[in-house]
């Protein structure tokens, strides 16, 4: 596993497994498989409704808690009571601390919620802070109103949408990007791009492995999700080669400024009305 140093001095793995859209039993099995195959980073969220399953998977793996990097996210409906939401999250994850805690969406009192996360950092319950799906303007708003700069920003990122402008903005803060939809939502058009087929043959890898390695070589953290043991293993087998500058330039030429997901203002506002009973997770 390769790591990068965050702006608060802690280290984070460059690759992990995501559990978005996984039912509890699938999330538990995927976490066990990932941790047994050399993964360190596990990503979940309140809204995924599988934090308890992730906790079971972590324990079943036999790894010590300090050898696992755990990230999760607070849902907007919990922002108004973020201090308690953090306590509830720790309980569901059956842990004393969270390595990386995000605000999941930029809606509601996210400034107040971020300040609650800062308090959790000061008491040792959270190690690093992050923002998920925030724009440059919203990130700047948080930075201007709080003390601790976000260590990680989680956004859609892939070769068709490499987040060049956002990464340039984050550079001075030392904030890194964690990519969701790192494979373009599994778009075969992206994965089967001729440049990836060419590079896969050159390095003896699959097209998917080339895309995932491109992310990590560009400094992005990747969290592809999978319930397939073979895919889980393959998605981590990406650190034994280096793309040349020419290779990276060819991939850069794929930038279409094309997103697969865009939340409307109405959808964001709707998140405030979505109040699942997180504690009733299986």
What are the catalytic residues? 48
Handedness of CA 242, 210, 15, 72 (dihedral sign): positive
Contact 48, 21 (CB under 8 A): yes
Task: Look up residue 150 and give its DSSP letter.
Answer: P
User: From CA 271, how far away is CA 275, in angstroms rounded?
Assistant: 8
Residue 148 CB neighbour total at 10 angstroms: 18
- Spatial CB neighbours of 240, under 8 Å, sequence gap ≥ 6: none
Q: What are phi and psi of 152, to 5 degrees?
A: -140, 140
231 assigned binding-site residue: no
Neighbouring C-alpha atoms within 13 Å toward the C-beta of 112: 13
User: From CA 279, how far away is CA 282, in angstroms rounded?
Assistant: 9
Place of tokens 């039993």: 25
Crossing angle for the helix pair 82-92 and 110-122, to the nearest 10 degrees: 60
Within its chain, how far is the Cα of 197 from the centroid? 26
Query: Which two structure tokens, joined as six digits, stand for 58?
Result: 């972590």
CA-closest candidate to residue 214, choices 226, 201, 196, 197: 196
CA-closest candidate to residue 124, choices 39, 17, 10, 18: 10
- Spatial CB neighbours of 204, under 8 Å, sequence gap ≥ 6: none
Annotated binding site for substrate: 104
């Amino acid at each position: 596993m390769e790591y990068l140093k965050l702006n608060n001095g802690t280290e984070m793995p460059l690759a992990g497994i995501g559990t978005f859209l996984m039912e509890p039993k699938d999330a538990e099995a995927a976490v066990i498989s990932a941790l047994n195959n050399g993964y360190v980073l596990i990503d979940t969220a309140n809204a995924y409704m599988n934090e308890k399953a992730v906790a079971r998977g972590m324990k079943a793996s036999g790894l010590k808690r300090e050898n696992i990097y755990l990230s999760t996210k607070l849902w907007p409906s919990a922002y108004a009571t973020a201090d308690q939401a953090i306590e509830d999250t720790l309980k569901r994850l059956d842990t004393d601390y969270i390595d990386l805690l995000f605000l999941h969406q930029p809606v509601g009192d996210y400034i107040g919620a971020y300040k609650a996360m800062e308090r959790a950092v000061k008491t040792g319950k959270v190690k690093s802070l992050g923002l998920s799906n925030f724009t440059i303007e919203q990130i700047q708003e948080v930075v201007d109103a709080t003390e601790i700069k976000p260590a990680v920003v989680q956004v859609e990122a892939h070769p068709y949408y490499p987040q060049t402008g956002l990464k340039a903005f984050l550079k001075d803060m030392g904030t890194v990007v964690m990519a969701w939809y790192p494979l373009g939502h599994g778009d075969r058009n992206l994965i089967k791009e001729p440049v990836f087929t060419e590079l896969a043959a050159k390095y003896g890898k699959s097209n998917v492995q080339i895309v995932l390695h491109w992310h990590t070589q560009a400094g992005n953290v990747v969290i592809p999700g999978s319930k397939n043991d073979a895919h889980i293993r393959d998605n981590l087998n990406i650190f034994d080669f280096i793309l040349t500058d020419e290779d990276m330039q060819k991939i850069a030429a794929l930038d279409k400024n094309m997103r697969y997901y865009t939340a409307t203002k109405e959808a964001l506002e709707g998140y405030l009305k979505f109040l699942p009973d997180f504690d009733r997770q299986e």
